[in-house]
Amino acid sequence: MIMVATENISIQKTKVSRISEVDFNNIPFGKIYTDHMFLADYKNGEWQNLRIIPYGYMPISPATPALHYGQSIFEGLKAIKTDKDEILIFRPQDNWKRLNISAHRMCMPHLPEEIFMEGLKTLISLDSNWIPQAEGSSLYIRPFMYSADEYIGIRPSENFTFQIILCPVGAYYSTPVKVKVESHYTRAVAGGTGFAKAGGNYGGAIYPAKLAQDKGYHQLIWTDGVEHKYIEESGTMNVMFVMNNKLITPALSDSILAGITRDSVLKLAQHLGIETEERKISVQELREGLEKGTVTEAFGAGPAATIAHIELIGFDDRDFVLPPVAERKIANQIYQSLDAIKRGSSQDVFNWLVKW
Ligand code: COI
């Protein structure tokens, strides 16, 4: 096991902080980056050169397979700062585990937990002034890994970079979302990379999502790649429905991302006495439930989106509007309980927080 201590991470601080340029009461998602970033290189079979340097553009070989073949993976998680200046990160070890599941599928090296956790903590401590404290805001953490070979052919790469960047963020979706059930395009298929947080899964989804956005929807609900008969996930989050007072979500498969927020919502719902089901949900069942009014709530769950209420679900020939957000007892209860745990204002019953 590699032991990493903070002193093994070299730190080069920025000469001039950009923090005074930021309006912390009005933060767009994903456009503002903190002063520093963490990097580690994988060379000659080992991780080395752990370092924090000023955030900025990086030299990269034009021949790197990350650019040509999409050999890149990423994670997303959030940290907050309490009124007592304590820093809380939500379930980072689970992101570390999933990063390695993605790495395995994409033929990339295992990243030791110590590098992930120490890199994260050292970087966040250094840029802790950037953690926004306004309501609804947080520090979004983006760990990622990519091939750093200089080679045009297809083969397992030998060199990789692992990196972490940080963004103070507000809400990803500022209003409840309108989604369309996709009946033609496919995000992921059995045996593919849908369960991995691999860059290409998201790149390939932009065009179909754009077609839906041109018609006034925010996002798609992806369906299975064989018959488009079963609900899978939304591009930026897992999807959940309240049907007949039960919280129901598609069971995981190799074409659905095993969301950490999804898992947290399910565990919390069970803890709150809400009945949950993970199973196949057919498009037909969803549509009939919307027609009869037995689907009373729908929401997306993801680190960026948190709990994003779905206000409208569209099919090729018809849109269904769901009941108002104020009436959504289950989603609102789960959102409040989850948020209270993340912010340290209620007991961390599942031991999800890493704090210092
Ligand atoms: C996240 O929720 O962290 C994601 O990775 C979704 C998206 C921003 C790609």
Please indicate, yes or no, whether residues 153 and 185 belong to a single structural domain of this protein. no
> Tokens 């992101």, residue?
95
Please indicate, yes or no, whether residues 56 and 34 belong to a single structural domain of this protein. yes
- Rounded Cα distance between 163 and 144, Å, is 5
CA of 304 to the centre of ligand 1 (A): 5
> Which atom of ligand 1 is nearest to 30's Cα?
8
Where is the domain boundary, 138, 169, 200?
169
- Rounded Cα distance between 117 and 262, Å, is 22
Where is the domain boundary, 136, 169, 202?
169
Domain residue limits at 128:
6-169
Closest alpha carbon to 137 in 169, 160, 166: 169
In a domain, 355, yes or no: no
Instruction: Report the pLDDT value the prediction gives residue 5, as an integer from 0 to 100.
Output: 64
Please indicate, yes or no, whether residues 44 and 88 belong to a single structural domain of this protein. yes
> Which atom of ligand 1 is nearest to 172's Cα?
8
Please indicate, yes or no, whether residues 49 and 105 belong to a single structural domain of this protein. yes
> Which atom of ligand 1 is nearest to 140's Cα?
3
Ligand 1 atom 5: residue of nearest CA? 76
Please indicate, yes or no, whether residues 105 and 122 belong to a single structural domain of this protein. yes
Instruction: Report the pLDDT value the prediction gives residue 3, as an integer from 0 to 100.
Output: 55
Q: How many helices (H) and strands (E) does the chain have?
A: 8, 18
Mention every residue, 6+ apart, whose C-beta is less than 8 A from residue 272: 333, 334, 337
In a domain, 353, yes or no: no
Ligand 1 atom 9: residue of nearest CA? 236
Ligand 1 atom 7: residue of nearest CA? 236
Mention every residue, 6+ apart, whose C-beta is less than 8 A from residue 102: 73, 108, 196, 197, 198
CA of 302 to the centre of ligand 1 (A): 7
pLDDT in tens, the chain (356 residues): 455 666 799 999 999 999 999 999 889 899 999 999 999 999 999 999 999 999 999 999 999 999 999 999 999 999 999 989 999 999 999 999 999 999 999 999 999 999 999 999 999 999 999 999 888 899 999 999 999 999 999 999 999 999 999 999 988 888 999 999 999 999 999 999 999 999 999 999 999 999 999 999 999 999 999 999 999 999 889 999 999 999 999 999 999 999 999 999 999 999 999 999 999 999 999 999 999 999 999 999 999 889 999 999 999 999 999 999 999 999 999 999 999 999 999 999 999 999 99
CA of 77 to the centre of ligand 1 (A): 8
Instruction: Report the pLDDT value the prediction gives residue 111, as an integer from 0 to 100.
Output: 98
In a domain, 347, yes or no: no
Asked if 40 and 115 touch (Cβ cutoff 8 Å), the reply is yes
Please indicate, yes or no, whether residues 186 and 276 belong to a single structural domain of this protein. yes
In a domain, 356, yes or no: no
Please indicate, yes or no, whether residues 148 and 196 belong to a single structural domain of this protein. no
Instruction: Report the pLDDT value the prediction gives residue 134, as an integer from 0 to 100.
Output: 86
Closest alpha carbon to 132 in 82, 95, 174: 82
- Rounded Cα distance between 170 and 196, Å, is 26
Count of domains in the chain? 2
Taking every pair of Cα atoms in the chain, the longest distance, rounded to a whole number of angstroms, is 62
Please indicate, yes or no, whether residues 141 and 189 belong to a single structural domain of this protein. no
Which residues line the pocket of ligand 1, CB cutoff 6 A?
76, 202, 236, 302-305
Asked if 309 and 299 touch (Cβ cutoff 8 Å), the reply is yes
- Rounded Cα distance between 233 and 315, Å, is 15
Q: Which amino acid is at 265?
A: V
Mention every residue, 6+ apart, whose C-beta is less than 8 A from residue 97: none
In a domain, 92, yes or no: yes
Best mutation site among 138, 236, 237 for ligand 1 pocket (most ligand atoms within 8 Å of CB)? 236
**Distance from chain centroid for Cα 90:** 12
Please indicate, yes or no, whether residues 202 and 330 belong to a single structural domain of this protein. yes
The domain that contains 159 carries what CATH number? Answer: 3.30.470.10
Closest alpha carbon to 325 in 337, 339, 336: 336
CA of 142 to the centre of ligand 1 (A): 9
The domain that contains 202 carries what CATH number? Answer: 3.20.10.10
Where is the domain boundary, 147, 169, 191?
169
